[in-house]
Amino acid sequence: MVKFDDMSGSPYASIVLNTVLVYVFILLAIRLFGKKELSQLSVADLVLILLISNSVQNAMVAGDNTLLGGLLAALVLFVLNYLFKLIMFNSTRVKELIEGEPVLLVYKGNVHSRNMEKEKITMDELEAVVREHGVGKIEDVVLSMLEVDGNISVLSKSIAGQSFHKRQHKQLHPKYKKN
């Protein structure tokens, strides 16, 4: 990692800048390597995440192993995460760029193989998720989507007979009502 403390004159400015760069790099890497990774971590995926966090830690603090250096890097990560969430909340374009969009896997019992291949989801994985949702076979799936958080949602034919009602809200206690 490039050390920027020579340009800024402050080792703490270097920690802030390096932490921002590492955060953006990790965010882009996770985005590029696929949504499936977020919710369906294998042992190898968990080991990779732990090793990445260990390998970039020194780059973020620029050799400053003090408590203040570590806390500053952690604070920058919390602030960056908050800012990214705020930006994504206010901009659907940025949200789609960072999180992606849901991907259709099954529609009316037909598997969309091209999307499955693109997202690196095997038929065995899809069948397991379908069973986890209480559906016996893929032909009974009305809709299955790879959601932006990496989960796979499944709606089955049995949902067609169900009705959905709006939740009835309880009346507010009189002391909480606006006059």
The string of DSSP letters for 72-101 reads HHHHHHHHHHHHHHHHHHH-HHHHHHHH--
Question: Over pLDDT 90: what percentage of the chain?
Answer: 32
Q: What is the pLDDT of residue 8?
A: 57
Residues 6+ apart with CB under 8 A from 39: 149, 150, 151
Task: Give kind and range of the element (H or E) at residue 155.
Answer: strand 152-156
* Tokens standing for residue 53: 């966090």
pLDDT of residue 124: 93
For residue 76, pLDDT over 80 is answered with yes
Residue 144: pLDDT band with limits 50, 70, 90 = very high
Q: Specify whether the CB–CB gap between 3 and 14 falls below 8 A.
A: yes
Domains, the chain, ordered by start: 5-99 (no CATH), 103-159 (3.30.240.20)
Q: Hey, what are 82's tokens?
A: 């908050």
With CA atoms as reference, report the closest residue to 22 among 64, 53, 46, 48: 53
Beta-bridge partner residues of 153? 145
For residues 30-45, b (16+ Cβ closer than 10 Å) or e, as one string?
Answer: eeeeebbbbeeeeeee
pLDDT digits (tens, 9 = 90+) for 6-60: 545 688 888 899 889 988 888 888 777 765 545 566 677 777 777 888 888 888 8
